[in-house]
Amino acid sequence: MKIANINRILYFTLIVFLLSPDNYLLAKSSLDTQINKVEEKPFLNSLLFTQEINSTNFTKVSIEENKELAIFAAKNNDIQNAALYAENYIKYSGHTEFIDSGYFDHFFDDEIFIDLRNTYSIDFNLINLFYLFSAIVGFFITTILIVKKNQDLASKLLVSGFVLINSLFIFHIFLFFTKLQFRVPHILYMSALSVYLYGPLVYFYFKRVTLNYKFKKIDLLHLLPTLFIFIFMFPIFIMSGSEKLKIMLDVGVINKEPYLNYIVITKFISLVVYGYLILKVYLSSKTKMANYSLSVQKWFKMLVIFTEVYVISYVVYGLTLIGVIPKIDFLFSFQIILMASMVLYIGYSSFLSPSLLSNKSSEQKIKYKKSGLTIKFSEELKDKLIYLLEEEKIYRMNNVNLNYLSERLGTSRHNTSQIINEHFNLNFFELINKYRINEASEILKMDTNNNLNIIDVAYEVGFNNKVTFNKSFKKFLDTTPSRYILTLRS
């Protein structure tokens, strides 16, 4: 035993005897036990009593010695040193599961060990399971969208790509919050490569669907930020798993803060720029979108709202992440929950409504490529059709069909169908039913005394039965006739 330790023990004995002679025998018994422990582990006891080792001079002790020190301190109820050496061992060995070992069970409720468990222990709670669920659903929807046929390829790839990168980010967040990231260190900055793709994917999807945009070589410039960040992050990407784990545990030679701040700030700038461009495209194409069904119009509107709210929420998330504003759990989680909700909504809507991924103008040009209909004649027929619908209200005829409409226009069935498709983005039955539903909604609005029956209104505007009327009403107004009436009354 070292002389310094013996001196400390004798000094302590003297103080106890002077202050309380009656407790001398009790103190002596306790010291005898302590001396026995010292003799069993002279090296460990020396470190614990002299406090020569801490996180700043870790190199004096090997990794395994820190583990032994933590266990030894825990057995002797030395909470401070048990926590100190346990964290040292975890950081330099990467064995985060050590904090959950039985050695520290009697410290379970201690604040120091609560903090350590919050930092290193695996945590499965409801919100983390929601993240996992959203990510898995996103991966599934991405696969379904890619293999689904009869959709515009460009629109399909843009939407599925957007769902995929969001799903990857959510999965990354799940690994981060559950502390599973320490078990799979190669996920470090896993989602960094996609931070500049969020905006372009939604932006070009809007242009493709609403403006029939055709991609050009110059559009590849939008991928330059992604190329830059790949080069910027390449030194980290090629590191081994153990090196990446050290960075995660803040014991690596590379400081992760500059990388984190760079990603957060530049992603924010990217989102703001594309958020503005998306809103601009949406507002400029509102007139053209009036020809789409209300469900499609609602889809575009919701997508814009999600995008703009996401930009704002990312500001809060980013500022919290880099420490500019204090971390508030609700605000920190809101951005992730919003992203997960957006993935689920986009995936669900685009999966159930193939028209959301179709480029009707492009499809129509292919379909009518060999048509002899000139632009001038097409415009003349469109004007005649609008007159028949709005002035003569031929849609009220319950037996109206494409042949009859073609005769009234003085042209062929093929030309009539082409006019409806190209100018209204609808087929014949959708066009007729859209006008019928528009009039039905106006009739119901004017019925302030609630004297009309729904079936009477359906017959009046041209429907043959209530089932078809209800189905069309739901499609164009996104509600049932009964609920629509209740809304009017309220």
- Write out the DSSP string of 140-161: HHHHHHHH--SS-HHHHHHHHH
DSSP 300-361: HHHHHHHHHHHHHHHHHHHHHHTTSS---HHHHHHHHHHHHHHHHHHHHHHHH-GGGG--HH
- The confidence score (pLDDT) of residue 146 equals 82
CB-facing half-sphere around the CA of 90: CA atoms within 13 A: 24
- The confidence score (pLDDT) of residue 21 equals 45
Q: What percent of the chain is modeled with pLDDT above 70?
A: 76
The residues, any chain, with a CB within 8 Å of residue 121's CB and separated by 6 or more, are 96, 99, 100, 179
Given a cut of 50, whether residue 420 has pLDDT beyond it is: yes
Structure tokens belonging to residue 131: 């993240």
**Dihedral angle of Cα 93, 97, 100, 103, to the nearest 10 degrees:** -40
309-320 average pLDDT score: 76
* pLDDT tens per residue, range 318-368: 777 667 777 666 666 777 777 778 777 776 676 666 555 555 544 454 455
Structural domain spans, the chain: 3-120, 126-360, 362-489
| pLDDT band per the 50, 70, 90 thresholds, residue 18 | very low
Residue at 335: amino acid letter: Q
Q: Same CATH fold, 362-489 and 126-360?
A: no
> Whole-angstrom Cα distance, residue 355 to residue 421?
13
Given a cut of 60, whether residue 35 has pLDDT beyond it is: no
Given a cut of 70, whether residue 41 has pLDDT beyond it is: no
Can you state the angle between helices 42-50 and 24-40, rounded to 10 degrees?
A: 120
- The confidence score (pLDDT) of residue 221 equals 92
Among 120-129, 188-197, 287-296, 421-430, the minimum mean pLDDT is found in: 287-296
Given a cut of 50, whether residue 53 has pLDDT beyond it is: no
Given a cut of 50, whether residue 111 has pLDDT beyond it is: yes
- pTM comes to 0.62
Task: Show the DSSP H helices in 63-150 as ranges.
Answer: 63-75, 79-93, 111-120, 126-147
Write down how long the chain is.
490
> Whole-angstrom Cα distance, residue 275 to residue 305?
10
Residues 290 and 322: beta-carbon distance below 8 Å: no
- The confidence score (pLDDT) of residue 256 equals 65
Given a cut of 80, whether residue 79 has pLDDT beyond it is: yes
Best CA proximity match to 189, nearest among 227, 225, 237, 224 = 237
* pLDDT tens per residue, range 178-221: 888 888 888 888 788 888 898 899 889 888 877 778 888 898 99
Given a cut of 60, whether residue 449 has pLDDT beyond it is: yes
Instruction: Provide the 3-class DSSP secondary structure of residue 296.
Output: helix
Domain 126-360, what architecture?
Up-down Bundle (1.20)
Among 293-297, 303-307, 401-405, 471-475, the minimum mean pLDDT is found in: 293-297
Which CATH class for the 362-489 domain? mainly alpha
Residue at 97: amino acid letter: E
Structure tokens belonging to residue 346: 């986009």
Mean pLDDT of the chain: 76
Q: Specify the higher pLDDT residue, 172 or 105.
A: 172
